[in-house]
Structures are given as structure tokens and as C-alpha cells.
Structure 1
């Protein structure tokens, strides 16, 4: 039996697979990787079928591997990895053997990285997924974030498809693209235009449920429609809270919300947005629904 012993874990470190879908009607969000492109890339670099990932947060991860040799894949953000003291490229694959020590430290950019193996993390699927939603204590390892001292047992995978190269949006710089939200018309036109011109800042208050934005100009301070009857929300929605704070809903978002959604980040840009570190500026630019669909088709 092979296993991973976690000796250091960044906050926000969890077990994630592709997520659990079709459950929002029952009040359960999809979870899954914050950066889906990097999640796939961590498998693709191994050239092998891999199981659920360890998604680690911005401070990285240290582990000790035990067992027969296995391949690992590392991707996401820009981190600094060392295997038994030897520097690894990023992203990369590597073989780990019994007693090997892998240390991943913060690099120049990114909030989330992924460690995948040609094995399955031996935790029980919950509603069809091993993904952790720590907000509600569901899935993963006892429904919680991973911490130092945890041991994850691994099991062999059944035969699966060898992945092709991961593909994702090439939109790495410039404004994050969005479509106007279902409540956009309730904001005055001049406020919507100001929203597109404002440089927001990613606040330190980020987690898998949502990223709060700092609004230096306070453009929503005097808005008057900041409370609504709750209805369904989706990942990428930009909500304006009652105090005027914008928040972008992420992978572990709640199923419904009672604040207006001025915009929704297009699916192709959510991965890039998830990797913008606190303190960094972000701007938004609108696109049509047809244009967003065209981008999605080009990436499929």
C-alpha cells in the first residue's frame, strides 16, 4: 500500500476531482478544481491516467511519499518544487519512490497548484465525487481541508484514458471578460460603464467560496438595490454585497444568493481569474453571449 504523509499544508489545501454536478437543486455546489486547466495539465504532463488531485493553496505543500514508485504531475500557478532537494521545473512530471520528500514553495504567481498521481486517493466518493467542499463538510478527507499530519492512502486505478495535452484559454493578460448579469439593468448605465473602467484589487479575503474585491473608488457605495429575493447563482457571478463590496463566486459557491449580480465571468476566463493573487489589480470587460460561446467552442 502506498501513501502520502502531509508534513506542511497551505490553507485552502483540499482533495479535488472534476467535481459533483447536477446537485445545485438540492443545495450542493459542484466544487472541483479552482483552475480546471491546471488540474488537467497536472495529469497531462504525466502521460498517464491519474486520480483526484491535491489542490494546494498559495503557500504550497510538503509531503513524504511511501510505497512503490509512482509518477506524479505538478501544475498550476508558478511554484517552486524540490524533490529530495533537487529543483524541479514547473510544471513537470517526476517519479517518486519510497521515502521521497517533495517540497513545494510559493513562486512568482498563482493561488492554486495541483499534485496528481497515477493512483487514486483512497477516500470515499460522496454523491459521485471525491471533491472536498469544506464549507459544508462534504467529500475529501472528512469534509475538511488537509493539514500537517494527515496521511492519504493510495490505490491503483482501473484502466483509463491517457490524457492529451491540456488546453485552456490563452487569455493570460488584460481584462477578465464577462457577460452582463441578470441584474445588470438595475444598475444605472453610468455605473455599469464605471464598473468596466475601474481597476479593482483582489483582497486578502479569498477562498474557494468567493474572492472579495477591493473597490478603491467605492463605485457601489451609494447603490440602492443591494438586497433581493434569493435565487440561483453560478460560479463566476459577480455579486455586489450590501455594503457595496463586489465578490466573485467561485467553485464552492452557495446555491442561491440575495444580492444583485451585475456580471458573470465567462467560463474561459475563470481559471485565469482564480490565479490572480491578493493585492493584484483586475479589470473587467464585457463581451456578448455569442462571443463567449464562440470562445468556448474554440477551446473545446
Structure 2
């Protein structure tokens, strides 16, 4: 069977195989669906989950009532737990322009492109006025063809369980945001807690530039933060399957999966 992509992509499943071939802008690629790379961080394990913005670790506790505790250890036949977390501060998450809008537009309503072509680039932050900044210059040399809709940025090697709070992490300069937007990037993924500076006086300039907010918001465009790119993951073109939990909220936990593309012609 064949699935249509934006920009005239065609995805063809090979019979009784987990290999797929992809035709995009006149070029053919192959991907192995058995060799996906998970870019998400674990939620609910304090030793592994990424955190930011001074939020506590994910809270999990059994429901209690009428002498009953929803835990097998406490005699219940099943585990029945409440979970409390903040999607912006706990783990990998995807957000819509509702993050900076009074209407809090839902990412579940905005996000409609589950499979896109993505380029993974490993960029090195530059020192600027005491900050670590991801500049347009640091990105330019990595990409020769802008034939994709999703851009994945690896900026460092942050360990499992890392807390970005009050560390002034690297952030993206406005010129980079403007450039990638003009090049047609609709989905931006990065291993940082924000595209903006941790303390920027509430400007959120990079967010506003990427979403062209408030003038003419870019419908369907997303930012995914606090991904985790495994060591040894090569730069290059990938098939991205961005899985976003269907929360009716401006942001939601997500699980980006990427599959390396081998060019056939």
C-alpha cells in the first residue's frame, strides 16, 4: 500500500517485511522499522526523567477510599495510581503555539503530521556574553539540502535524570529560528528545555518567531523539547514518527521515533 506525504512523498511497505522504501523529491530511500531510535526520556523514574523549571519529579500514588488502597502491595487485585506531572517540566513534550496564546490552543488539535522527513544535526553552542547560544552559523555547515519538514538538534550529552532548572541552559538565537522557519521547517525538536533563554524577562522571542505569533500563527507547527538523542546517533536524514499523547492542552508528553534513511538513488 502507499501513503501520501507532503511534498509528494510516497511510502511503500514491502510485503512481509519491516523495510520500507520512500520516494521524496525524485530520490528513493529505505528505512528499517525494526531499527527505530527512541528520542524520548523516561517519565516516572526520578533517576532517568529529565526535568526543568523547578518542577518536582513525577508523582505517583495509589488512589485511596472506603478502606481501599489501589496498590497490589496493599492487598488490591490491581494497581490503580494517580499520576501528577507538568508536561513542560517533566520529560519530553511537544507543544503548539497555544503555549504562548491566551486561548491555550491544544497541541492535540494542532498536530496532524505524524510522519515527516527529519534531519538530525549535532551543533555546538557558542559563548556569547556568558551564555551558551546555538547560532545560525553553528548550524549552516551541517545541512546541504533543506528537503525536510522536521529539524532535530542535539546540543550536548545530558545524562539521564538531568535537571535543567537554574542552570541557564543553551538556547537558540533569533536568526536561527527565522532561518529554519523560512526554509520550511514545521517541527523543531531539541534536547533543551526551551528554545529561549531560561530567564529572558518573559519575552519568549524564539517561540514567537517560530510560530509567527501573534500576527499570523503557524497552524500545525510544533516544538518538541527535552528529547534525548542516544550517543552514537549519526547526523543525517531520518524518517520521524512523532507520537504525541492526545491531551487537550497546549503541550503533551511525546515520543519521537526516528528511522535512518538509506539513499537508494
**Which bracket does the TM-score occupy, shorter chain normalised?**
under 0.3
Instruction: Return the structure number with greater relative CO, CA threshold 8 A, min gap 6.
Output: 2
TM-score (norm 2): 0.24
| TM-score, structure 1 normalization | 0.22
